[in-house]
Amino acid sequence: MIQMIDINSFGLLGGDRRQAALADALARDGCTVRVWGLDGLPLDPKVKQCALDELLNNSAVVILPLPATADGRTLNAPYAPQPLVLDDAFAERLQFKEVYGGRMAAVYATSGKWRLIDASDYYTREEFAVRNAGVTAEGAIAVAVREYEGSLLGSKCLVAGYGRIGRALSRLLRALGADVTVSARRPRDLAWIELDACRAVPTASIGAGREPYDLVFNTIPAMIFPRRVLAQLKPGCVLIDLASKPGGVDFEAAKELGVHAVQALSLPGKTAPRAAAEIIRDTIYNMMEE
């Protein structure tokens, strides 16, 4: 007899508090939700924690975490009882299912069989990126309040990079009364920064002289703050690196120079997991409808 699987049955594998909050959100929507690899995290009573085999055998939709893998070999599952290797055998088990995940390129590289799987990367969606940038910016503010001994009101801030996160962050900082400078490479972006009532500087000029900032936020995933630039930061400056790995700060040099540098990765999962989960859920719903 062929087993019929409920089309509204979701299986969530691995991840952090975002993935746990996503399971709760789907269960509140009336979906059947099974999870693996979220051991020890609080979950809605309607969410079933189960073995990997049970989840894969009974889920029409499988959701991988963000990022789906941190090392290119195993699933990103820090709360799992054991590592889950991403190989041909794993990929074969996902055939005939809808699969969603965040930053999936490294997962696709683990097996040629992914070409046969109905898999999608919600991280590439514009609605996800825009809303996630807002939550990330809020998280950056939370880190700044925790790490900086002064007040954001009246503080001198530099936001390196004018992508989605840089844009959202600079607007929040201005709303809190900070004196905000934003860097960008393209003349078009420099013009938009000025229109946002912030001071605009070319990214290449950072570190050309003594930098007067109390707080520096880096959003650029390239080495923007090597030793030479770090040496130009004023004493007491707090540097918060929001860029994805490998980041944009020489942390070893920062430590040697006495610069208070903080690597703030995956902020939505740490500071606002429920809001981050709702963004992921809504994005996946959009993708399923399309």
Give the pair of three-digit tokens for residue 231: 């040496």
Q: Which residue intervals of 59-203 are DSSP H helices?
A: 88-92, 105-108, 126-147, 164-175, 187-195
Segment 88-93 shows an average pLDDT of: 97
- The percentage of residues in the chain with a pLDDT greater than 90, rounded to a whole number, is 93
From-to residues of CATH 3.40.50.720 in the chain? 9-124, 132-269
**Closest by Cα among 15, 24, 33 to 270:** 15
Give the pair of three-digit tokens for residue 246: 């490998």
- DSSP assigned state of 66: S
- Report the predicted TM-score, pTM, of the whole model to 2 decimal places: 0.87
pLDDT digits (tens, 9 = 90+) for 168-223: 999 999 999 999 999 999 999 999 999 999 999 999 999 999 999 999 999 999 99
Torsion angle, alpha carbons of 283, 287, 288, 290, to 10: 140
Query: What is the third-level CATH fold of 9-124?
Result: Rossmann fold (3.40.50)
CA separation for the pair 249, 227 (Å, rounded): 9
Query: What is the third-level CATH fold of 132-269?
Result: Rossmann fold (3.40.50)
